[in-house]
Amino acid sequence: PTTSRTPLVHVEARVHSQPREQGRKERENRDGTEMVEDLERESHEEEKERPTWDDPTIKKRNEARKAIHTQVDVETSTQGHAYVLPEGSKMTCQVICHEGGKTIQLRSDYPGTLLLHWGVQGGNRNQNQKGWWLPSEHAWPENTCKYKKRALQTPWKKNGDELALDIQLHGEDMGDALVFVLKDPQKNKWYDNRSNNFRIALVGEDLQEFQETGGNVEAPQEATYDVPEDLAGVWAYLMWTNAGSPERSFEEANLEYQNAVEELQQLLAKGYSVEELYAASRGDKTIPGTSITSQEMRGTETPPSPSPREEEIPTELVGIQAYILWENAGKPDGADFTDAATAELSQKLRSGMTLQEVERSLNEPASPEPEPPTEERQEGLPTPASAEEERASPDSAEESTKLEAGVPSQKPTSEPQVAPPPPSLASTQNLDMRELIRKPNRAPKSLVPESAKKKSPLEPYVAEAAANPACQWRRLFNLGDKASLFVAAFVQEDGSTRVDMVSDCNVDLVAHWGVSRDKRRMWELPPLTMAPPGTTTVNDIAMETDFVPTKGKYEIGGKLVPTQTCSFTLPAKHDIAGLIWVLRSEDKTRWWKDGDSNFRAPVPGGVLDISSVSDDAMVQVIADAENSGAWTLMHRYNRVSDLLDDVMSGQYGKDWEDPVAKLFVWLRFSSTRQLTWQRNYNTQPRILSAAQERLTQKIVEAYERSTGEAKEWARQMLACVGRGGEGQKVRDDILRIMHKHRIPELKGTWMEEWHQKLHNNTTPDDVAICEAYIAFLEENGDNATYWRVLSDMGVSRERLESFERPIRCEPQDFPEKRAELISDFREYLSVLKAVHSAADLTHSVSAAGNMLSEELKGLLGYVLANRESPDVHHLLEASVNARTVVHTMMEGHRDLMYLDLALEGLVRSLAERGAGDQRYSSQLLGPLLQNLCLSVANNEEFVYCLMSWKGLPDSVFTDYPSQEDALKAMAVVDRLRRALANLSEVVSQRVQPAAESLGRAFGVEEWNIQLFAEETIRGGSAFAVSLVLTQIETMLRNAAKLSAWQVISPSHVLGVVEVVPNLQTVQEKVYEIPTILVSEDVTGEEEVPEGVVGVVTPSAPDVLSHVAVRARNMKVFLATCYERSPIDQLSSLQGEGISIQSTASGEVTYHKASMDNVMAGKSGSNSVSNGDFGALEVPSWCGEYTLMMDEFAPGKVGAKSKNLASLRGKLPEEINLPPSVTLPFGTFETILDHPDNKVVKGDLELLLEKVRHAPIETLAACRSTAVRVSIPGELKSALASTMKKAGLQWPGNRERWEEAFAALKKVWASKYNDRAYFSMKKVGLKISDLRMAVLVQRVVPAKYAFVVHTRNPSTGNDEEIYAEIVCGLGETLVGNYPGRPLAFVARKDDLHQILIESYPSKSLGIFCPESLIFRSDSNGEDLDGYAGAGLYDSVTMDRTIENQVDYSAEPLVTDEKFMYDLCFRIASVGKAIEDALGTAQDIEGVVESNGEITVVQTRPQV
């Protein structure tokens, strides 16, 4: 994206955002009106001094901002040069020198059209950069466009009989040479200067030589055939699929891609057009003899013909149609529908359908809507290299620019091959990334609508058990047919245990039951003492007891629904761990189990610790299932399928996030080999495949019907399960291989041991075994290779020997059969991966092939061919673009979801490969962030970060970003860092508790349990972003000249280090010795504890937050550190004395100090004695409930109201004051004396007596009590009347009045805020003396809000104004919402002199419709030297709305002129108010959408 040009008339009102340090070179900025720094990089050790207004660099730059650029057209020399072009034509080049620059004139008699693909090389601006660079926009000839940030393309103009093009370069746009190649867009041919770029020298000896030489130059190299990369990708993909989609190495895939390019070039040379080749790739045209043509068509090649001919039906379409006809006919054995399919397809074509429409109808028969139109393919455009190529270091700059121009390199093929640029996707080129935003704006689609759901007759039993403290365990089981079984275990008063069962089943039930005495849960015969009456013993491990009919407790239609119960009692001391049972009908025709397992219930008071049993129903169901005696992957997958059905039917509540996340935890434990894959049971591969098929389709259904987090956990579940495939082939093909190669089924041999395992229980371990055996054969029977590959894939010798069909032997070598065995086992590996591998890329592409567009196939073909290429950047872009398209169409399609997971896995591995190269980190972040947007459920924050990142200036994506550009980028990085931290917290809170509950129930090792959430995060897309972000942040911080420290309150203090988790928990503590806190979390709303002299934190409280103002007021050192190392170093000094201070450059230094020195400085520490501010003067009520603005007077209202009134008539007309009325001091206390509020007043008085002993809890109770106050009718009448006189719209009905009074009461209640109490207590003020006036104003619908301090709070400089701006209401400023505002400093003697200190990174903007706001205005905010601002609340009548801010579409960031104009206007407001009131002011105001500014309050700045 380019920076918008600014009209020159406004130049003098614009200044550079951050002054550059003295000594830096200046140059014209891209719009020709600004001076910006040279791209030289300064040393990291350079002193980062805060710029001063007298800095010569700043003066020069500000003068440049007011200058208007002019050009001097004084011609000094004209020389020419000529080149011979094809077809007997020529091109002449002339360089005309001016005082202000040079003009390059290009002329040609070429018989056609030409396009100049060009850039500039060398020069002061990019003297350290190889290759060419792009001049600024004002140097671009008409109709020039930027090609992917790496070249410019300009069409030549027709001038009579010749083509002409003039390029003017001047100033910093001047380089050493103009470098270009030519293209004939009609013929799709490129021309260069004999394998080099055309190079027109512009300076120095080269220019002189260029001017002095004349005559003809040899003709350029013969035109080469430019093969579009997307066509090459499709061609390579079709070649691969025609070959049966075999497993390929990187070298084989790359060779296939090159073969595709060569074949296409040969076809172009034979006369086929690019359009014909595209048609052949789509199946619309058949070109015999090519690699993508079926075998029977590879006969005699026919020449291309321009005349239209009858369309041939591709064989793959015939096959699809034949399959559909066969399926519709009931899949008869041996039937051949080829002729019928051909006839039906021919009929469709004769009816007017195109081949594309026919293919779409076959591949998407269920789609009722046509596909949206796509952009026309632009043939012949060279695929541009990324910025990574631009900054690469080839053998010469010429070779670098040659690559940029898109001309094939002539480097020897023996050099390492780098992937070519990827083909682009039209569907992603113009994609608005906001379309990727997913919000949890709907509830999951339950199988059973809420209106159809009926309450269970067992609900009264469930509720009673839940309310009974004697109930130690309970669970509701689903019996099917709308029947349930509820079981609860109670510990009775005498210590005995009773287990009750109750069911609403309409069939008479019998419990077939036993007991278990240990965790193995094996059936044992119960003791006779616990058998209910009528129990019979049926064998040596079980008894049977009839359920007894009861009346029930649930009423329908005036009648109780009958139930049946059964109870078991155990003595106080017993050795029973639990009950085990199944149910049967009395007539023995039906049996019930808990899914595939027996019913189980733990029994309190026995050998089992009942506290270890989860009270979470799903966790207990999973734990019970996992502890079954016979258990395999098949059982696990079927049980998960059952539970997913229960979730979707609403059995586990309306919200699916938690239960689906628990199922993910279960499957992840399984997929990472933490759970057994086989125990006491053999599962045939086809049965396992069926279970996988059922589960994966169930997961796809859950994904499609869920929203928010649940959607993402469902997708993650799919990554833990193999797709199933043709399970029977696992058994059949291993036997086929053994028989083919005459390998005997001989017991005691490796092959037979593996064969037996495969035959009885195939598992994902078999993929590793097969890979290891192939490697073993490839290394000529090397056992060490076999064991190394197994180890790399997580399979040990011990694991092989632990199988029920163990593999103990060393692998067998067959030297004479190795080659054939390797080939056969590669095919067998495909079978195993199809069954077991969840996200194998090759198989995922093959499985999803018929759902992919030709364009997408081409991109995936490129990815497959180059996935091992060292060119990470191009491959990453291609993978993410492909995934973006797949992600938008994958709902309801299992194979597309697997392809999405496979591409996500590839992106993650590419990030790990590319993260080590800092040169390209800034280019990798965009694709990785886009990939993360596709992976995260609630991704709005990440999408906005992506949009902002993509909108940054070009210099950010080079090694040399300018200081201002780096500052803009740091705002995006700051926001992205917070988003990553929030995502990590959400994931941890969701899955870690489930991992701990399930892991311990499973017996997983504790270290695996504790690392579960961390490993989940590290295995996701967010970790890849974090890897790259760490490198970028360091580079940008240096480029922006930002310190690792932000000093909020500068000071020099000595104290003892104490480390605390957060400031809030210690704010009421009194430290006896001077203390420096290292606090992990500081929100900004806390009070600095007494005795604390310094606070250091990695958090970033706002510089205008309450804690920041208090710290500066009390000379407490307060600083944020953005790097972890200094925080850790300070934390390691726990209990030791240190001296810490800020330097003039904004750095922080510290060293150890003796305790004597620490105590010697105690007198200057933060220990304010009682009485420093005296007692608050308690104003009495004035006798009026409300006051107009002209009645605002001392003793009646607070400083906010008084200051607003004093501004009337003193401000310029463009500054508005809102209409206001105030409820004066004492109003709250007066209505407390009203008889209706007698109880409230008494409760408050009792609470205030207790506040010293438990302040946090008591103050919360005070606030809850204060809002119970009743508003007398006379106050309502007075308020309505006064508001009407003031021009305020009063609430129109009773409901609106209640909303208004609710806001008013909350303001009164804020006098009991925690931070207010601790702040007043610290300076000896009594909360009982506080009186709260309330200022009532119209809520101005703000587009922006601002806070202005007319004395710079960071430096104390009276000549500077400091201001902050945010989107929406000012609550994000004063309420300390995370992130930075747009912050700037302006000089009072020239308000146009503006320094931007930070660009906005706050995630949220708060907005409110036209309404009323009730603002606190207490007598505790008037004291000189006491920072009372921010202690109390302001509340809107209507609920505010929090929206995430998209800065990529926000003029405050994207429109530089708008931003500086707004800063100037806000600074002018601050100066005008200070001039009117005579002292430094703390001002709050808003800017409406129409640009009008309203000041809502001002107070003396403390």
Which residues carry out catalysis?
1106
The answer to whether residues 637 and 675 touch, using CB atoms and an 8 Å cutoff, is no
Please state the separation of Cα 849 from the chain's center in Å.
Answer: 29
DSSP codes joined into one string, 1405-1457: EEE--SEEEEEEEEGGG--TT---TTSS-EEESSPPEEEE--GGG-HHHH-HH
Which pair of structure tokens corresponds to residue 36? 């910006």
The answer to whether residues 646 and 640 touch, using CB atoms and an 8 Å cutoff, is no
Cα 906 from Cα 531, distance rounded (Å): 60
Q: Considering only CA atoms, which of 1058, 1052, 1053 is closest in space to residue 1131?
A: 1058
Task: Please count the other Cβ atoms lying within 10 Å of the Cβ belonging to residue 1195.
Answer: 11
Cα 1095 from Cα 1088, distance rounded (Å): 9
Q: Considering only CA atoms, which of 107, 79, 104, 96 is closest in space to residue 209?
A: 79
DSSP codes joined into one string, 860-894: HHHHHHHTT-S-HHHHHHHHHHHHHHHHHT-TT-H
Cα 43 from Cα 23, distance rounded (Å): 13
Query: CB within 8 A of 252, min separation 6: which ones?
Result: none
**Residue found under tokens 């330097």:** 1143
Find the DSSP H helices in 189-273.
Answer: 204-212, 229-242, 250-269
Instruction: Give the SS3 label for residue 155.
Output: strand
Inter-helix orientation angle 728-740/685-705, to 10°:
140
If you ran DSSP here, which 8-state letter would residue 203 be given? S
Long-range contacts of 1368-1371 (CB under 8 A, 24+ apart): 1368/1342, 1368/1343, 1368/1344, 1368/1404, 1368/1405, 1368/1406, 1368/1407, 1368/1443, 1368/1445, 1369/1342, 1369/1345, 1369/1405, 1369/1406, 1369/1407, 1369/1408, 1369/1440, 1369/1486, 1370/1342, 1370/1345, 1370/1346, 1370/1484, 1370/1486, 1371/1406, 1371/1440
Cα 1122 from Cα 977, distance rounded (Å): 11
Cα 1362 from Cα 1470, distance rounded (Å): 9
Instruction: Give the SS3 label for residue 458.
Output: coil
Cα 1148 from Cα 996, distance rounded (Å): 42
Instruction: Give the SS3 label for residue 80.
Output: strand
Cα 215 from Cα 82, distance rounded (Å): 6
Paired with 119 in beta bridges are 179
Q: Considering only CA atoms, which of 1120, 1165, 1127 is closest in space to residue 1142?
A: 1120
Instruction: Give the SS3 label for residue 102.
Output: strand
Task: Give 3-state DSSP helix, strand, coil % of the chain, rounded to 5.
Answer: 40, 20, 40
Q: Considering only CA atoms, which of 526, 836, 519, 569 is closest in space to residue 696?
A: 836
Q: Considering only CA atoms, which of 850, 1036, 1033, 1026 is closest in space to residue 931?
A: 1026
Cα 746 from Cα 909, distance rounded (Å): 42
Handedness of CA 780, 782, 785, 786 (dihedral sign): positive
Phi, psi torsion values for 24, nearest 5 degrees: -75, 150
Please state the separation of Cα 280 from the chain's center in Å.
Answer: 40
The answer to whether residues 47 and 1425 touch, using CB atoms and an 8 Å cutoff, is no
